[in-house]
Amino acid sequence: MPPDIHAPAATPFPIKSVRDRFPAIARAAPFIYFDNAGGAQAPQTVLDAVARQLLDSNVQRGARYAMSMAVDEMIAGARSKVACLVGADDPDEVAFGMNATSFIRLVSLALGQTLSPPRDEIIVTDMDHHANISTWQELTKTGAKIRWWRMREDKALHVEDLVKVLSDRTRLVAFTATSHAMGTRVDVAAAATAAHAAGADAFVDCVHFAPHGLIDVKAWGCDYLVCSGYKAFAPHMGFLWGKRAALERLPTFREEFIPDAPPHKIEAGTLVFENVAGMAAAVGYFESLGVDVAPLETSPRGRIVAALGAIEDYERTLSRAMLSVLSDAGARIHGVANANLAHTRVPTFCFSLPGVTPADAAQTMADADIGIRDGHMYAPRLMERLGLPLETGAIRASLLHYNTLEEVARFGEVLGALIR
Ligand SMILES: Cc1ncc(COP(=O)(O)O)c(C=O)c1O
């Protein structure tokens, strides 16, 4: 029997209070945000932190007056918050910057200088965002060799397949924690363990996973991890976490007066301070949700763990409901389609509709005040694997924990009308 989309979530989730914290939701109503994989909305606390930064200390860091020292303190505080979010002990392992792509480039350019045979192979996947593929492929110009960890027909990456590609030639494995196009989760810990067993580093693209689940760099054992703040309730910015020893070894470009130590050797020029302040507040948002769902939890990390546990539970309910309406509409779901496997995905759905182009489907949804996306999702390799033309691609509806079952039902109505 298909899951009842009106059934209550297994764990009560404070959806009303969550939605109340995101002013953009009420401002845009009745618009439905189902394009969250392109960027999430920001809670009021993040907006306040950005405004506060611009109002109270919009000056350069590093001087002796109070306002400038406040900027230094804000950045240090933000590093600690993000370290807590990813489960790291050392705030200096966190670097802030423009976005995830620029950090992938920074690490690949640096690592490229250290590659030499026989350890000159980089493993990439055919499920990743192109930023985490093409950037590594670029290194072939200076002698690197690319090996592929390919997804299986079940639209998942299996670590057994990675093990077959790993060897004593592998320098690094670059892979996503979760497919931004299809929502499939990857066993990051097992992949990092396999990479290390072969003497290679593990580079994790956590951009899509970050708003959906708990990041734990210690449990995962990865060496590098990138995130985009704007996918995780912060403003447009990105951050890189790396093991201190790995970052220390990276030969990054820096002016001679910049210390050859993380985080400064990883950060180029002046940060967008207000966005860094917003990122810290986004971590605070997870903590505040943790207070709601686990009032007895007192540690910041414990609250983040509780919040993301509740988010994962709630999002599974959304996933099951989406799978139900998509299968009712006869959609070809590219990704995990079995509701019993909802725990192996996040509520990001890539699909095609018989007889309807992705562009027409997205336009019809837009006309009905539902924001979704059509196209190649910046994943040309994946489109090729799925047998979809790059020009038209697929349809993607991507939900976050501020979405509701009522919104899924409305999406289902428009979908139903579309295929009739
Ligand atoms: C999984 C994934 N990786 C990398 C990126 C690139 O991130 P950014 O826009 O921060 O450079 C995106 C953006 O959509 C993404 O979804």
User: What is the CA(12)–ligand 1 centre distance, in A?
Assistant: 31
Q: Which helix (H) or strand (E) holds 395?
A: strand 394-398
Q: Count CB neighbours of 258 within 10 A.
A: 15
Query: Residue written as tokens 């097992």?
Result: 190
Q: Which atom of ligand 1 is nearest to the CA of 128?
A: 1
pLDDT for res 254: 87
pLDDT for 11 equals 53
In this structure, is the dihedral angle defined by the CA atoms of residues 104, 109, 113 and 118, taken in order, positive or negative? positive
pLDDT at 230 over 70: yes
Nearest atom of ligand 1 to the alpha carbon of 98: 10
Q: What separation in Å is there between the alpha carbon of 58 and the centre of ligand 1?
A: 28
Distance 205 CA to ligand 1 centre (A): 8
Ligand 1 closest atom vs CA 131: 4
Give the count of alpha carbons within 13 A of 306, CB side only: 21
* Integer Cα distance of 99 and 226 in angstroms: 9
Helices (H), strands (E): how many in the chain? 15, 13
pLDDT tens readout for residues 311-337: 999 999 999 999 999 999 999 999 999
- CA 133 to ligand 1 centroid distance, Å: 12
Measured CA to CA, the distance from residue 387 to residue 380 in angstroms comes to 10
Give the model's pLDDT for residue 335.
96
Is the fold of 15-42+303-419 the same as that of 48-284? no
Which atom number of ligand 1 is nearest to the Cα of residue 178? Answer: 1
Q: Whose CA is nearest to atom 7 of ligand 1?
A: 100
**pLDDT tens digit string along 60-119?**
999 999 999 999 999 999 999 999 999 999 999 999 999 999 999 999 999 999 999 999
For tokens 């009106």, the residue is 6
- At 4, the pLDDT band (50, 70, 90 cuts) reads very low
Q: Which residues of 364-378 are buried (b: 16+ CB within 10 A; e: fewer)?
A: bbeebebbbbbbbbb
CA of 52 to the centre of ligand 1 (A): 27
- What span, in angstroms and rounded, lies between the C-alpha atoms of 377 and 208? 12
Do residues 88 and 79 touch, judged by C-beta distance below 8 A? no
Q: What is the mean pLDDT of the chain?
A: 96
pTM of the predicted structure, to 2 decimals: 0.96
Looking from the CA of residue 238, the nearest atom of ligand 1 is: 10
Exposed e or buried b per residue across 326-345, where buried means at least 16 C-beta atoms within 10 angstroms of its C-beta: beebebebbbbbebeebebb
Choosing from 35, 36, 96, 101 the residue with most ligand 1 atoms within 8 A of its CB, the one to mutate for a pocket test is: 101
Mutation to probe ligand 1, out of 105, 107, 136, 180 (largest number of atoms < 8 A from CB): 180
| CB burial string 211-248: b at 16+ within 10 A, e below | bbbbbbbeebbbbbbbbbbbbbbbbebbbbbbbeebbe
- Helix boundaries (H) for 294-341: 300-328
Ligand 1: which of 106, 175, 224, 228 to mutate, judged by most atoms within 8 Å of the beta carbon?
A: 228
Going from the Cα of 207 to the center of ligand 1, the distance in angstroms, rounded, reads: 6
- Count of all residues that appear for the chain in the document: 420
**Radius of gyration for the chain, computed over Cα atoms and rounded to the nearest angstrom:** 21
- CATH top-level class for 48-284? alpha beta
Atom of ligand 1 nearest to the CA of 230: 10
pLDDT (tens digit per residue) in 163-207? 999 999 999 999 999 999 999 999 999 999 999 999 999 999 999
Which residues' Cβ are closer than 6 Å to ligand 1?
99-101, 129, 131-132, 176, 180, 205, 207-208, 228, 238
Instruction: Domain ranges for the chain, please list them.
Output: 15-42+303-419, 48-284
- CATH match for 15-42+303-419 among 1.10.240.10, 3.40.1440.60, 3.90.470.20, 3.90.1150.10: 3.90.1150.10
pLDDT band at 406 (very low <50, low <70, confident <90, very high): very high
- How far is the centre of ligand 1, averaged over its atoms, from the C-alpha of 231 (Å)? 8
Q: Which of 172, 167, 177, 170 is nearest to 127 (CA)?
A: 177
Q: Which residues contact 381 (CB under 8 A, 6 or more apart)?
A: 126, 127, 128, 130, 133
Torsion region of 393: left, alpha or beta (phi above 0 gives left; psi -120 to 50 gives alpha):
left
Mean pLDDT score, 126-154: 97
In the reported structure, the alpha carbon of residue 356 is separated from the centroid of ligand 1 by a whole-number distance in angstroms of 28
Mutate to test the pocket of ligand 1, among 132, 207, 382 (most ligand atoms within 8 A of CB): 207
pLDDT given for residue 1 in this prediction = 38
Which of 373, 378, 398 is the pocket-test mutation for ligand 1 (most atoms within 8 Å of CB)? 378
